[in-house]
Amino acid sequence: MENYKFESVFDAPIDRVFGALTTQSGLRAWWTSACDSRSENGDEFVVRFDNTFKVMQITRLVPCSAVQWHVLDSYLDIPDLRKKDEWIGTTICMNLVEESDLRTRFVLEHVGLTSNIECFEICSGGWAHFLASLKEFVETGKGRPFV
């Protein structure tokens, strides 16, 4: 099965995109206001969406190049979803490539989020929304995070 993947070019400098992925203020601006992010390799952090949460560990951090989070714990508070912990053990890999001073190629692969797991459609839709929010935030300064 193929992992969830997303690729886009953002009209924003690479350091702005990297900051949006690695700082508490950045993550709160496009993903969720309930975030206690850390910014060092090996650190753990939590993101919350009401009763839904994910506990992640930063497993790779290369300035202005790569960010990787491994999901240690998760609860998906989604009605009718039988397996509410499907994110546990998955890994979110993000790579950045500077195309010019003001353009950054962003590639995300959520390893383990495949079409054979129950939450795939719901989670893919969530990623689509929040990655559009990330693009808006780095390009305009205003995202659409969960509040």
Show Cβ contacts of residue 62 under 8 Å, excluding neighbours closer than 6 positions: none
Average pLDDT over residues 85-97: 98
CATH 3.40.50.2020 corresponds to the domain 3-140? no
| Terminal-to-terminal C-alpha distance of the chain | 33
- Domain ranges in the chain? 3-140
3-state DSSP percent of the chain in helix, strand and coil, to 5: 25, 40, 35
Lowest mean pLDDT among 8-17, 31-40, 86-95, 122-131: 31-40
Confidence check: pLDDT of 39 > 90: no
% the chain with pLDDT above 90: 96
Can you give the pTM of this predicted structure? Answer: 0.97
